[in-house]
Amino acid sequence: MIERKDYIDKLLSLKEKKVIKVVTGVRRCGKSTLFELYKDKLISEGILYEQIIFINLEDLEYEELLDYKKLYEFIIKRLYDKGFTYIFLDEIQNCKAFEKAINSLFLKENIDIYITGSNAYMLSGELGTLLSGRYVTIDMLPLSFKEYYESNSKGDGNEGKLFSKYIRIGAFPYLATIETAEQIADTYIEGIYNTILVKDVAQREGITDVSLLESVVKVMASSIGSPISTKKISDTINSTGRKTSVNTVENYVKALCDAYIFYKVDRFDIKGRQHLKTLGKYYIVDLGIRNFLLSSGSSDIGHIIENIAYFELFRRGYRVNVGKFDDKEVDFVAKNSEGREYYQISASVLNDETLKRELLPLTSISDHYPKFLLTLDEVPKGANFNGIRHLNLIDWLLDK
């Protein structure tokens, strides 16, 4: 199994805190495996097997526990009486009214609760109602490039080759662990995609026109990194002869974001210091899904690496916006408790005109927060343009 160190560290930092730990994310990104890894970590640190209750509610062995009362009774009978009990409940949404069992367990002393869910049942707004605000979410993603590289590298300086593969087949953990990944990638991803579309989106939202839903997905997938509105998506679909309304598209887009297929990034007016409601961008959680959907093989490398950079910033704990400064756009304004950073992403700036265009938005900003230009060019160490640091994207992803 691939070590998911950052997520393990997050869980360890919350260990035995009086809060429910909720791990969310797209299907097959590794949530169940994370629980296995974390359980092994606890045992390696001296926690006893009898202190751990581990239930996967997709396993037929636990079918009767899909009743919340039976789930509660099952756990209560197995609580450890000499210290903490660590309770792991995988795919908790399969248990109807699960929140009643969780909230009752939460009232007990010396109980540490961890739950996962794949879809919109795990929405923060919905959980806030169900769990009365007693939880914290850990947003899990498919593999970062660093995780992918460390699980595949043979130490022969093959970063570029692996990066190309990472772009082609995506970052679902299973595909990173088998030699035949490229041969089975489409079949594997198709299965994940169809399950998400049917179970996590169509069934939950009561959508009967799945072909229209797929049309919305394809328009969004082809537009990653470009400012887009629900009206533009609607107009694009209508131009093909399908008829749909802006309201319908808006509902579908929200459902797709709730299922963690797409992540919306709003615009931020740097000069006016306010968030803008119009023309945000959407990024797809895994490029393998995009390549499966766009059989023509969209090769817009600029937007592809922008997609990768967004999720890397997200993984590193930043709140990310698209920046607007007068009539210029900054790809990302990344904020955390220490301040903010500005990022421009470009495949290459070897052309002088391209370099000038990419630097202009950053040079227009007069504050002293760090500014970065990330490209796929070979970049000498310490390269910068009047204080704007120029970094190779792959080196940045690998924390070099």
Domains, the chain, ranges and CATH?
5-139 (3.40.50.300), 146-397 (no CATH)
Pairing of strands 262-269, 274-284: antiparallel
Task: For 27-71, write each residue's pLDDT tens digit.
Answer: 999 999 999 999 999 999 999 999 999 999 999 999 999 999 999
Cα 187 to Cα 31, 40, 266: the distances in Å are 21, 31, 33
User: 124 or 391, which is more confident?
Assistant: 391
Is 352's pLDDT higher than 90?
Answer: yes
User: What pLDDT does 373 receive?
Assistant: 98
User: What pLDDT does 298 receive?
Assistant: 56
Is 89's pLDDT higher than 90?
Answer: yes
The CB-side HSE value for 162 (13 A sphere, CA atoms) comes to 25
Residue whose C-alpha is closest to residue 201's, from 285, 262, 125, 259: 259
Is 322's pLDDT higher than 60?
Answer: yes
> What is the total residue count of the chain?
400
Is 120's pLDDT higher than 60?
Answer: no
Question: 378 φ, ψ to 5°?
Answer: -70, 125
Task: For 249-286, write each residue's pLDDT tens digit.
Answer: 999 999 999 889 999 999 988 887 788 778 899 999 99
In angstroms, rounded to a whole number, what is the distance separating the alpha carbons of residues 7 and 142?
12
For 210-247, letters b (16+ CB in 10 Å) and e give: eebbbbbbbbbbbbbbeebebebbbebbeeeeeebeee
> Which residue type is seen at 64?
E
- Non-local (6+) Cβ contacts of 239 within 8 A are none
Worst-scoring range by mean pLDDT, 47-61, 112-126, 350-364? 112-126
User: What pLDDT does 340 receive?
Assistant: 95
Q: Which two tokens stand for residue 264?
A: 């919306």
Is 132's pLDDT higher than 90?
Answer: no
In angstroms, rounded to a whole number, what is the distance separating the alpha carbons of residues 15 and 11?
6
Question: 260 φ, ψ to 5°?
Answer: 65, 25
Q: Is the dihedral of CA 33, 149, 390, 362 positive or negative?
A: negative
In angstroms, rounded to a whole number, what is the distance separating the alpha carbons of residues 389 and 289?
32
User: What pLDDT does 154 receive?
Assistant: 73
Worst-scoring range by mean pLDDT, 71-80, 150-159, 252-261, 343-352? 150-159
User: What pLDDT does 205 receive?
Assistant: 87
User: What pLDDT does 155 receive?
Assistant: 63
Task: For 8-29, write each residue's pLDDT tens digit.
Answer: 999 999 999 999 999 999 999 9
β-partners of residue 345 are 374
Is 156's pLDDT higher than 70?
Answer: no
User: What single string gives the DSSP state of each residue in 98-134?
Assistant: HHHHHHHHHTSSSEEEEEEESSGGG-HHHHHHHSTT-
Question: Where residue 167 falls among pLDDT bands split at 50, 70, 90?
Answer: very high
User: What pLDDT does 277 receive?
Assistant: 76
Is 297's pLDDT higher than 60?
Answer: no
Task: For 302-318, write each residue's pLDDT tens digit.
Answer: 999 999 999 999 999 99
Mean local confidence (pLDDT), 164-169: 95
Task: For 200-251, write each residue's pLDDT tens digit.
Answer: 899 888 999 999 999 999 999 999 999 999 999 999 999 999 999 999 999 9
